[in-house]
Amino acid sequence: MWVVGIIALPLLAIGVSVFFLGVSRKVTARIQRRYGPPLYQPVIDVVKLLAQEEHVSHGMVFDAGMVLALGGSLATVLFIPVGGLHPLSAGGDLLVILYLMLLPPLGLALAAGAAENPNASIGVSRKLILALGYEVPFLLALLAVMTQEGTTSLVAIAEAQQPSVLEWGLVRAPLSALAVALVLPAMLGLRPFDMATAPQEIASGTLVEFGGKYLVLAALQGALHTYIVIALFVDLFLGGGANVLTFLAKMGVVFFGGLLINAVYPRVRIGQALRFCWKWPTLLALLGLVVVMVMGR
Amino acid sequence: MDRAQIPKILKSPANWGRKYSLWAVYFCTGCGIIEIPPVVTSRWDAERFGVIPMATPRQGNLFLITGYVSLKTLGAIIRTYDQMLNPKYVVGFGSCPVNGGMYWDSYNTIKHLDQYVPVDGWISGCMPRPEAIFIAVTHLWTLIDKGLADGYKRYKDNYDFYCANQRRVLPHLPKFACGTGTETATAPATLRMPT
Amino acid sequence: MEIAVLLSVALLGAMAVYVAGRFSARGRNALAVLVALAVMVGVALLYGRGVRMAYYRLPILDATLVLRSNPLAWFFAMAVAAIGFFSILFSLEYMKGHARLGFYYAAMLVVNGAMLGIVLSGDLISLYVFWEIMSWTTYLVISYRGGRAVAAGLKYMVMSIIGSCAMLLAIVSVYVHCGTLEIAALAEPMQSASTGFALFILLMFAIGFGIKNAVMPLHTWLPDAHSEAVSPFSAVLSGILVRMGMYGFVLIMYGVLGLGLLARFGSGVLSFGYLFAWVGALTIVIPTFTALLQDDSKRLLAWHGVGQGGYMILGIAMATPLGIAGGIFHTLNHCIYIALLFLVAGAVEYRTGGIRDLNQLGGLAKRMPVTFVGGLAGICGLIGVPLTNGFASKWLIYKALIADGHPFLAFAALVGTWGTILSVYKFQHNTFLGQLPERYKDVKEVPFVMQLPILLLTAAILVFGIFPGIPLGAIGAIQRSLGLEALRVGAFSVPPEVGELNTITILAAVAGGCLVPYILFRLCRRSRTVAQADTYGAGAYAPADRYQYSARFYDRAYAVIEPYVRDRVDAFYYWLVEKSEGVFEAARHLYGGNVNTYALYIMLFLALILAVGFGWGL
Amino acid sequence: MRDRDGDRDRTGHVADADVNEEDLKQRIADRMPQCGVTVPKPGRLIATVPRDGLLSLLHLLKTDGFEHLSLISCVDWIDEGELELVYHLWSQEKKVHAMAKTRVDRASPRMLSVILLFRHAQTYERELHEMFGIDFDGNPRQVPLLLDHWQGIPPMRKEFDLRRHARETFGVEERTDD
């Protein structure tokens, strides 16, 4: 059974994330009162980029970094339970997933660093500072859920929220859920916090030297990162879904919420983003953890 | 996407991809760039055709040269064109790239864009309207289908012709030989840093 | 019998190297490598053999000085010998141009021998003796380069002396109470000791070992000492010498006092273990974020040396089998990757003519690939990326913390990880990635004898990361020898009741994951490599050396972080030094210089003694 | 500019009568006899001075409230063989636009730089150097602004044949219908 899971899960993840990419461009267009591209536009883009006659590289580290980035994302996808489908989760719990999520940014940072372009380096430094910003509340919220459930296994956490809506993480640890919801756009790299790949200021930041197949790897990694973060959010706070369909439905709702924010918000500076992430979300997450500790006693 | 297109797509998915995902390099050369914002935003919405303004030449395959091209801008255009990845298409926008337009006798603007950079399509008019861009895009689709949008092939085949023209007008242009990756850029003697 | 031979080879070998240095440089180098290798092989042969040998009998205290080897001793001895051998190998080429090499090699071997002595010593007197030998020779080697290094060495020396005095006090009071000095025999007399006395002993030892292990309030000597010392010695210093404190902590807390006594120190929140864990948590967060602000590569790594010490303390303070295993395992892992990173920083310094400022380096990956790979493995280990050894030990520590219900401690450790990621990526990016400046155009890769240690340490990081069972097996033996419940671990997986970790599954997932993009990569056309200056610069030609953009890498974050991590402890110590100078100045005036005032002082003193004696009714 | 007929100007306060132009003209005339000052229309003042008196004139005008140098332009009197430099000054509170004119020899045009009085004059002088070939002593950066590696006659001078240059460099076919 788990062999099927190992093949199906990445395909499902790539399919869902590419579909989300198409939806995001369509919804953003409609919010801006224009028609926007067809839903399968990302497929067209990927075909065009793969079929290009020329690709430019900046050396071995540049190539290896991109392969590691997408490879890391695919590996992380295998460890996240999706509505009962969790092939490899016996080999890795939430801590392993948290640390596996380090691989893709590390790969991308290496590739962008090796791209010898100042815009890319500035993009990487912004991306890491933003990560430092949103990790603090995210970790506090994770620890709150883990101490509440008394386990570090994501499958157990998801199953514990299964029976009814009242058991959801959202209901049992509302402050932590709210804290993570506040920093979700930062984790997804959506508009208020997309200064790492800002086209206007730093010529699309880390992606400045990615063309052709490198851009495909980067785009797929970005899409998979969105899938991973939202899947984690659903598993932790929205009850993880009895079967795959309900899981995907919940992911769609969360993604749609993120999209609405993305379509209307201007981009903030990295200093402001760091201060914001360390102020309200961290406070909420801290309170959530204290509440869980006190209730746990 | 109607049913009729399916066989054409299956015949050559590459052309299908190149047609409906023309990423324009957001490069403001001359006065024409003021026409681009309405094209890409809500009023005209170029994204319906798959045209998105991209920040870097590495990601773009459509190069819209808008308005008159002064000598200094020509240097930047040539370097950006070299940094774009094949297949790449150049569209001259406005009458100035065609034959110099109202600056036909100026000492500082070039008169025929296609002497220096291969051009696949022209949009005449002293600042054509956004609809003209969409017409140009649709024409480009047909050219791509027929395989006639081969500006990048012409550039590679008679590369010396283009290089000679470029060197005649910009003798000290630091330039990386296109397609060979070797660095022919000589450190420009005159590019003095502000003291 | 072998232990005495081993120790004498280590120490006398150093003397032989010094003498050989008089005659021929090559002979000295060869001999140094031979001695280090012999020591390593000797220690390896000691595996699993509980040897005890009384080598000298002190007439006055009728105490016998004993050398013994148990799993804990062997574990640290192996690390000492290995890192010592690698650093000697590295310095063969690195120190080629320096002066007084005979002294340098001899001192390095004496430091290694002293550390071996500490670890193998069975009683507190020989432990203290070797501890002093180590401290002294370390001072000599730190201030080897002169100039600022002497000040750094002095600072280290002053704090080490304070630590040694505390240790001496503890040793004497233990001897008075228990009558014997042999560590193995101390266990049951200490049980009968009063809690207050046991706490006093523990605190005194904790000061001595805490200074050496750079625990938060006592850490200020480490950044100066590590960045001023010569790179190979920095690797030894930060790799294993600082972890002698950890050996001491484990020895005293679990070897001598044992779990029962530890539990009696305070209860619940105010227990020693909990407060000690919070000191560890503090030691993780503040130094790691200070490392974020450093611009000097070795100083940045030194601050990480302090930060990582916090994880070890967090592990052993938890007193659960998982925590202790994690703490000791992290000591070994840290010893590997911090030594590797210092060797990498040394290699870069060696090739770029002593440049350590991260704002002036760049693009060296193209010229120094092996060093780049070593640096990458080092930072992955330091961060704790899965499949590296750092991850395995951090996982154990987090699991212990969360299972034990200490989320705030776990939070401090996790935030420390993210501080590490940012600062070590700056180290890697500013040194190896980005544009290669003109002046480093013809930098070559370091010679093979310097590459060998880097490659071996990189291999160690990956092997211990994919098969954590190997070192954890040895740690299980340690726990059993200390009378604790051992952590049963498979070769690469953790039993289900402990948690879910299977490094082979992670390896398979990452390998499979990377295979898919690699295939996609190969299917498309081959990509052409472009020159360094052929990058997008809005159409402008980027003249060489004008693109230095790695200066102040996290500039925006500095303003937010800097006020919280200013080193106030260091400032407090210097303030203390000034105040004490004032007092000593005043005291100096007492010695007027003429004899009869001295006679007067003596008379007054005698009168005082008599008065006190009568008052006490002697 | 001041709108004379409506006696109203942007700042809304009514300017006093047109006495200050005459008053200014008088002050300049008696302090610099060799300077010919005329007031063609209210709010405008033209002072022509020989080459070496220009700096003192500019200094005098600047102290009189003409604190803003808006432009330095150049007129090519080809038949008189001279280049005329016009320094356009503007006084905010007097609302007067003063033009200091001077003539420079066309064959080898040299002029003292006014960068000490007005720092931003460096760019204007740089452009005049590029387009007319006037050499400004004391201007630290007379590097080309628009033209790169330009050989031959500076393009704005009258004897420069625009059409011939365009034909040779850019291959322009001659227009037949104009």
Summarize pLDDT for C563-588 with one digit per residue, the tens: 888 888 888 988 998 999 988 888 88
Chain-wide mean pLDDT for chain C? 89
Q: Which residue has the tokens 């006020």?
A: C563
Instruction: Please give, rounded to a whole number of angstroms, the shortest distance from the CA of B171 to a CA of chain D.
Output: 8
Note whether B108 contacts D169, CB cutoff 8 Å: no
Range name among A104-108, C62-66, C230-234, D120-124 with the lowest pLDDT average: C62-66
Note whether B181 contacts C544, CB cutoff 8 Å: no
Pairwise CA distance, residues C221 & C236, whole Å: 16
Instruction: Please give, rounded to a whole number of angstroms, the shortest distance from the CA of D163 to a CA of chain B.
Output: 6
Instruction: Using CB atoms, pick whichever of C384, C506, C535 lies closest to residue A209.
Output: C535
pLDDT of residue B178: 54
CB atoms within 10 A of CB D44: 15
Q: Which residues of B touch C540 (CB under 8 A)?
A: 76, 79
The answer to whether B26 and B39 are in contact (CB under 8 A) is no
The answer to whether A30 and A22 are in contact (CB under 8 A) is no
pLDDT of residue B177: 63
DSSP 8-class letter at C47: T
CATH topology of domain B14-169: Rossmann fold (3.40.50)
Q: Which amino acid is at B155?
A: Y
D3: pLDDT strictly greater than 60: no
Range name among A22-31, B180-189, C31-40, D63-72 with the lowest pLDDT average: B180-189
Instruction: Using CB atoms, pick whichever of A10, A55, A115 lies closest to residue C525.
Output: A55
Q: Which of B183, B184, B192 to mutate to test the interface with C (most CBs of C within 10 A)?
A: B183
Q: In the structure, what pLDDT confidence band is assigned to residue B191 with cuts at 50, 70 and 90?
A: very low
Q: Which residue has the tokens 């010919």?
A: D36
What 3 state SS string does chain D have?
Answer: CCECCCCECCCCCCCCCCHHHHHHHHHHHHHCCCCEEECCCCCEEEEECCHHHHHHHHHHHHHCCCCEEEEEEEEEECCCCEEEEEEEEEECCCCEEEEEEEEEECCCCEEECCCCCCCCHHHHHHHHHHHHCCEEECCCCCCCCCCCCCCCCCCCCCCCCHHHHHHHHHCCCCCCCC
Which of left, alpha, beta for D149 (phi over 0: left; psi -120 to 50: alpha)? Answer: left
- Could you report the per-residue pLDDT of C86-103, keeping only the tens digit for each? 999 999 999 888 888 899
Regarding whether C478 and C343 lie in a shared domain, the answer is yes
Instruction: Please give, rounded to a whole number of angstroms, the shortest distance from the CA of A81 to a CA of chain C.
Output: 14
Q: Which residues of B touch C530 (CB under 8 A)?
A: 176, 181
CB atoms within 10 A of CB A223: 21
Q: Which of A78, A96, A202 to mutate to test the interface with C (most CBs of C within 10 A)?
A: A96
Task: Please state the rounded mean pLDDT for residues A122-142.
Answer: 93
Q: In the structure, what pLDDT confidence band is assigned to residue C209 with cuts at 50, 70 and 90?
A: very high
D13: pLDDT strictly greater than 70: no
Regarding whether C429 and C573 lie in a shared domain, the answer is no
Q: Which residues of A touch C398 (CB under 8 A)?
A: 95, 152
Chain-wide mean pLDDT for chain A? 91
Q: Which residues of C touch B194 (CB under 8 A)?
A: none
**Whether C536 contacts chain B with CB within 8 A:** yes
Report phi then psi at C405, rounded to 5. Answer: 80, 40
Q: Which residues of D touch B169 (CB under 8 A)?
A: 169-170
> What DSSP line would sit under C164-206, residue for residue?
HHHHHHHHHHHHHHHS--BHHHHHHHHHTS-HHHHHHHHHHHH
Instruction: Using CB atoms, pick whichever of C394, C502, C557 lies closest to residue A132.
Output: C557
What b-and-e string marks burial along D136-167, b requiring 16 or more CB atoms within 10 Å of the CB? beebeebeeeebbeeeeebbebeeeeeeebbe
Enumerate the domain spans of chain D: 19-146
C134: pLDDT strictly greater than 50: yes
Pairwise CA distance, residues C312 & C281, whole Å: 10
Note whether A274 contacts C549, CB cutoff 8 Å: no
Q: In the structure, what pLDDT confidence band is assigned to residue D177 with cuts at 50, 70 and 90?
A: low
**Which long-range contacts does C223-226 make (Cβ < 8 Å, 24+ apart)?**
C223/C299, C223/C302, C223/C303, C223/C306, C224/C148, C224/C151, C224/C152, C224/C155, C224/C156, C225/C142, C225/C152, C225/C153, C225/C155, C225/C156, C225/C302, C226/C298, C226/C299, C226/C301, C226/C302, C226/C305, C226/C342
pLDDT of residue D122: 94
Note whether B183 contacts C529, CB cutoff 8 Å: no
How many domains does one find in chain C?
Answer: 2
pLDDT of residue D178: 56
Task: Please state the rounded mean pLDDT for residues A156-179.
Answer: 87
**Whether B176 contacts chain C with CB within 8 A:** yes
Q: Which two tokens stand for residue C246?
A: 């950890």
Domain at D19-146, CATH homologous superfamily:
NADH:ubiquinone oxidoreductase Nqo5 subunit (3.30.460.80)
Q: In DSSP terms, which residues pair with C493 in a beta bridge?
A: C502
* Enclosing domain of residue C591: 567-616
Q: Which residues of C touch A147 (CB under 8 A)?
A: 402, 405, 407
**Touch between C and D (at least 3 CB pairs under 8 Å):** no
Pairwise CA distance, residues D16 & D6, whole Å: 13
Q: Which residues of B touch D157 (CB under 8 A)?
A: none
Q: Which two tokens stand for residue C160?
A: 């080490």
C212: pLDDT strictly greater than 60: yes
pLDDT of residue D175: 62
- Judged by CB atoms within 8 Å, which residues 194-253 of A form the interface with B? 199-200, 203-204, 207-212, 215
Regarding whether C363 and C418 lie in a shared domain, the answer is yes
Q: Which two tokens stand for residue C531?
A: 């020159």
Q: Which residues of B touch D148 (CB under 8 A)?
A: 71-72, 75, 170, 172, 190
Task: Please state the rounded mean pLDDT for residues A174-193.
Answer: 92
Note whether A34 contacts B58, CB cutoff 8 Å: no
Range name among C436-445, C546-555, D158-167 with the lowest pLDDT average: C546-555
CB-neighbour burial class of residue C132 (10 A; exposed 0-12, middle 13-18, buried 19+): middle
Q: Which residues of B touch C545 (CB under 8 A)?
A: none
- Could you report the per-residue pLDDT of B53-63, keeping only the tens digit for each? 999 999 999 99
Q: Which residues of A touch B179 (CB under 8 A)?
A: 54
pLDDT of residue B188: 41
Of all residues in chain D, the one with the smallest CA distance to B171 is D149
Residue C522: partners with Cβ closer than 8 Å, 6 or more residues away: none
Of all residues in chain C, the one with the smallest CA distance to B188 is C543
**Touch between B and C (at least 3 CB pairs under 8 Å):** yes
Q: Residue A84, SS3? A: coil
Note whether C528 contacts A146, CB cutoff 8 Å: no
DSSP 8-class letter at B52: E
Residue D123: partners with Cβ closer than 8 Å, 6 or more residues away: D145
The answer to whether C297 and C345 are in contact (CB under 8 A) is yes
Instruction: Please give, rounded to a whole number of angstroms, the shortest distance from the CA of C313 to a CA of chain A.
Output: 20
Task: Please state the rounded mean pLDDT for residues B61-77.
Answer: 91
Pairwise CA distance, residues B7 & C492, whole Å: 52
Pairwise CA distance, residues A29 & C48, whole Å: 70
pLDDT of residue C187: 82
C618: pLDDT strictly greater than 90: no
Regarding whether C595 and C556 lie in a shared domain, the answer is no
**How far is C-alpha C297 from the geometric centre of its chain's CA atoms?**
17
Regarding whether C463 and C502 lie in a shared domain, the answer is yes
Note whether C533 contacts B185, CB cutoff 8 Å: yes
Task: Please state the rounded mean pLDDT for residues B13-20.
Answer: 90
Q: Distance between terminal CA atoms of chain C?
A: 51
Chains with 3 or more CB pairs under 8 A to chain D? B
Computed on alpha carbons and rounded to an integer, the radius of gyration of chain A in Å comes to 19
pLDDT of residue C80: 94
Q: Which of D130, D142, D161, D170 to mutate to test the interface with B (most CBs of B within 10 A)?
A: D170
The answer to whether A86 and A240 are in contact (CB under 8 A) is no
Instruction: Using CB atoms, pick whichever of D141, D146, D169 lies closest to residue B169.
Output: D169
- pLDDT above 90 coverage of chain C, percent: 49
Q: Which two tokens stand for residue D128?
A: 């005049």
Residue C605: partners with Cβ closer than 8 Å, 6 or more residues away: none
Regarding whether C474 and C603 lie in a shared domain, the answer is no
Instruction: Please give, rounded to a whole number of angstroms, the shortest distance from the CA of A211 to a CA of chain B.
Output: 5
Q: How many CA atoms lie within 13 A of A121 on its CB side?
A: 28
A223: pLDDT strictly greater than 60: yes
Note whether B21 contacts A215, CB cutoff 8 Å: no
Q: In the structure, what pLDDT confidence band is assigned to residue D17 with cuts at 50, 70 and 90?
A: very low
- Could you report the per-residue pLDDT of D51-82, keeping only the tens digit for each? 888 999 999 889 888 899 999 999 999 999 99
Instruction: Please give, rounded to a whole number of angstroms, the shortest distance from the CA of A128 to a CA of chain C.
Output: 6
CB atoms within 10 A of CB A118: 22
Q: Which of C439-443, D1-5, D174-178 has the highest mean pLDDT?
A: C439-443
C66: pLDDT strictly greater than 80: yes
Residue C453: name the closest of C328, C533, C279, C337 by CA: C337
Q: Residue C318, SS3? A: coil
Pairwise CA distance, residues C397 & C412, whole Å: 12
- pLDDT above 70 coverage of chain C, percent: 99
Pairwise CA distance, residues D58 & D98, whole Å: 10
CB-neighbour burial class of residue C168 (10 A; exposed 0-12, middle 13-18, buried 19+): middle
Of all residues in chain C, the one with the smallest CA distance to B27 is C538
Q: Which of A86, A97, A139, A227 to mutate to test the interface with C (most CBs of C within 10 A)?
A: A139
Chain-wide mean pLDDT for chain B? 85
Report phi then psi at A148, rounded to 5. Answer: -65, -45
Chains with 3 or more CB pairs under 8 A to chain C? A, B
CA angle D54–D60–D64, rounded 5-degree value: 140
- Judged by CB atoms within 8 Å, which residues 126-185 of B form the interface with A? 179
Q: Which of A41, A43, A47 to mutate to test the interface with B (most CBs of B within 10 A)?
A: A47
Cis peptide before B87 (omega within 30 of 0): yes
Query: What number is the ipTM of this complex?
Result: 0.88
Instruction: Using CB atoms, pick whichever of A6, A124, A139 lies closest to residue C414.
Output: A139
CB atoms within 10 A of CB D42: 16
Q: Residue B167, SS3? A: helix
CB atoms within 10 A of CB D76: 16
C61: pLDDT strictly greater than 80: no
**Whether A55 contacts chain B with CB within 8 A:** yes
Task: Please state the rounded mean pLDDT for residues C186-215.
Answer: 87
Pairwise CA distance, residues C83 & C105, whole Å: 14
Instruction: Using CB atoms, pick whichever of B71, B110, B115 lies closest to residue D148.
Output: B71
**Touch between D and B (at least 3 CB pairs under 8 Å):** yes
B193: pLDDT strictly greater than 80: no
Regarding whether C388 and C270 lie in a shared domain, the answer is yes
Residue A61: partners with Cβ closer than 8 Å, 6 or more residues away: A110, A111, A113, A114, C365, C372, C433
Range name among A257-266, C253-262, C401-410, D54-63 with the lowest pLDDT average: C253-262
Q: Helix %, strand %, coil % for chain C, to 5? A: 75, 5, 20
Report phi then psi at C47, rounded to 5. Answer: -55, 130
